[in-house]
Amino acid sequence: MSASPSPVVSSGSAVSVPTQADLLAFVRRTAADSELIDSLPLDPEGRTWVRLEGPGGSEAWLIGWPPGTGTGWHDHAESVGAFLTASGELKENSLAARLPTDGWKTLELTEDVDRERRLPTGQGRAFGRHHVHEVLNESTEHHAISVHAYYPPLPQIRRYSRSGPILRLEQVERPEDWQ
């Protein structure tokens, strides 16, 4: 991970490609904007979200998490990303293993690949390509709000089910599925 954006030539001009560090700095700055955070409509039944303008052409989102909600296991394919809890607390379960990207439907995970991270208000993280995780609001009473950014903009999301050590690819979603 480099400390500064890598220049890319596009249409004859240099464009900065945001790094994981750039995305983390963006979500940190955005989460500190209390007016923006407070403007997110919250629904007691399901997650709410607003698309934001991310740095360098990245895709960014402000997301509200009602008590007891989560994403399920998924990855963001070729995108790197970052997210930060702006309000409340989130939990991230992730896999500390690089999975094959294609050619499988079911994998048996080895022991010691599970990671758990608590992310209270002001805490976040960046992640690389093919990072498999689930994000949860385990509170029974309070909403959580988070800011997320991905680059390149999400080409797809792969969704998984998990039963003990067995991870199964269930669905591949593309941007047109989210419209």
> And the tokens for 28?
């940190």
Tell which residue, 165, 157, 156, has the closest CA to residue 106: 165
Q: How confident is the model at residue 62 (pLDDT cuts 50, 70, 90)?
A: very high
Residue 99's pLDDT is what?
85
- Please report the pLDDT score of residue 103 as a whole number: 87
Query: pLDDT at position 10, please?
Result: 42
Q: Considering only CA atoms, which of 150, 133, 146 is closest in space to residue 64?
A: 146
Contacts of 23 (CB under 8 A, 6+ apart): 54, 55, 58, 80, 81, 82, 126, 149, 150, 151
Region 5-23 average pLDDT: 67
pLDDT of 60 strictly over 80: yes
Looking at residues 125-152, what average pLDDT do you find?
97
Domain boundaries, the chain: 15-178
CA-closest candidate to residue 162, choices 96, 97, 94: 94
Confidence band for 179, pLDDT divided at 50, 70 and 90? low
pLDDT at 9 over 60: no
CATH no., domain 15-178: 2.60.120.10
Provide the pLDDT confidence category of residue 135 given band limits of 50, 70 and 90: very high
